[in-house]
Amino acid sequence: MRLIKRLIELAVVVLIISLFMMNKDVTVRITYFGLDQPVTLAFWELVTICVSLGIIIAAIGDFITHYKWLSERKKLLKTDQEHQQVVENLNKDIRQLHAENAKLRQDLDEKSAEIDSLKAVEEQPFPRSEKPVFAETAELSGLSGETTAKMDK
């Protein structure tokens, strides 16, 4: 778009120069050692050529800059997408680690509660049974209830 603006600007400048400088009879003789005869140009023609070249160079510079900017923008967008993908992967890993951490914490709490209950059981003394020891051993050895009753007497 800037190229078109520059070319329109060039056309307007050339028109203005040609309208105001046509009546000037100033000429410029350009002598160069390789030329057979010197080149004679009207001043307005020389100004028109120089301004036109300047505007054309500016338009080409704008076009090249715009093209480079577009290519740089594409590279930046591609890099941004890659970085977004890396960030999403890292966020997914963080969520997985949080879930695993919660699971491990829950397992730790369960194990701690289990260990605490085992410690509490170990600290309590065993209750004495009402039955005599020989009655329990008789039951284990398979003696009948009558035999144990006789033993109790």
pLDDT, tens digit, for every residue of 105-117? 999 999 888 888 8
- Amino acid 129 reads S
Distance (Å, whole) CA 22 – CA 14: 11
| pLDDT above 80 for 140 | no
Task: Tell me the pLDDT tens digit for each residue of 70-82.
Answer: 999 999 999 999 9
Q: Vertex 85, ends 81 and 88: CA angle to 5°?
A: 135
Residue 20 has which token pair? Answer: 């105001």
* H helix or E strand, kind and range, residue 42: strand 39-42
- Alpha carbon separation from 109 to 11, 38, 83 (Å, rounded): 83, 101, 38
Q: What gap in Å lies between CA 113 and CA 19, rounded to an integer?
A: 100
Residue with the two structure tokens 């890659």 = 82
Give me the mean pLDDT over the 59-80 stretch. Answer: 93
Helix, strand, coil content of the chain in percent (nearest 5): 75, 5, 20
Q: Which residue has the tokens 């078109």?
A: 4
